[in-house]
Amino acid sequence: MSTDKSNEIAAPGSHAPPSRALVVGDGAFAMAMATSLARRGDTSVRILCHTTQVRDEINAGENKTYLPGYQVHSNITAYTNITEACDPDIQLVLLVIPTQFLRKFLVANLASLPVGCPIVVCAKGIEIGTAETPYEMMISELPGKYHKHFAVLAGPSFAKEIMDGEPTNVVVASQNSIVAKEVAQYVSDGSSLRAYVSDDVHGIEIAGAVKNVLAIASGALDGLNFGNNARAALVCRGLAELTRLAVATGSNGRSMAGLAGVGDLMLTCSSSLSRNFTVGKKLASGMSLEEISGGTNAVAEGVATAKSVRMLAGKLGVEMPICEAVYQCLYEGKAPKLALAELQARPLGAEGGLVAGE
């Protein structure tokens, strides 16, 4: 048995938790991460909310809008004013904002975020129009004094399972290895939530974005009453598409076999807890995108990301037939059953390796 411990950081839960943390966002995953931090003991967690309604709900003890049925931890306090939510003692910032709204927040608050602590983006998507990932948006919009503190958190992590204290593993990626390790130690609690580290920011962000589009396709398969063979094929061929795009943006491709790649893809393609999976299932039932969007207050990132993935893939010359089919079903009115038939009728080809993404 190997005894190489060169990749070890520290025993999970052994690192002192942040005394104060700021979570920007008031959705289910924001609440889950805030709760996980608050459970560490002495960590005071401040949540910056988008509306006064949700702020008041959280401070009253339950986020009824986005996470009903769960009591808010006593260490959590909600705000709507970033100046009130921030103070010099903040040691960790988590940005849990949908990708399409992240830039607006950064531009509006670039002088308000604390300096010198990790700023971790938890959004999974690609911006429409610019085709930038959340990490790239932070680089574009925030002053240089922040840049060495950026990180990304991704991986298979349904909010409700984190709230229930179920085992969850995530990955923290940063171009600064010290920051990646610090964030991993902050969020790992030694029991239920565990974080690994990576320097493959490009790959992990592309994986987190594309898997949401593929989850829509998987939900459509389920809605069409297809079985496990179809889903397994979708996951494998979807992983190939995801890997091709990741490699084209600068990833080495190896992260696709990890938590942000295979892990998150398997999760979102196999559960109705996934908002994107649910969108696909409703599409297959005949509902329009407008009808689906009007029936929920939660954001399914894959709907917008289908547009930006198509744009980025076209720009880089990357073939992504499954993601293209999802785009056509969402925005061009193509029936999911017809889209599947066309995918199955494509010219035959060779199956390549994971890193090659062929």
Token look-up 């109705």 returns 272
User: Half-sphere exposure of 131 toward its Cβ, with a 13 Å CA cutoff?
Assistant: 12
3-class DSSP string for 115-167:
CCCCEEECCCCCCCCCCCCHHHHHHHHCCHHHHCCEEEEECCCCHHHHHCCCC
The residue among 132, 120, 23, 41 whose CA lies nearest residue 79 is: 23
Active site residues: 211
User: Half-sphere exposure of 218 toward its Cβ, with a 13 Å CA cutoff?
Assistant: 31
β-bridge partners, 172: 153, 197
3-class DSSP string for 99-118:
HHHHHHHHHHHCCCCCCCCC
Name the token pair of 235.
């996951």
Query: Rounded to 5 degrees, what are φ and ψ at 222?
Result: -65, -40
Q: How far apart are CA 343 and CA 358, in angstroms?
A: 16
Name the token pair of 334.
């193509």
Are 43 and 135 contacting, i.e. CB atoms less than 8 angstroms apart?
no
Helix, strand, or coil (residue 290): helix
Q: How far apart are CA 121 and CA 300, in angstroms?
A: 17
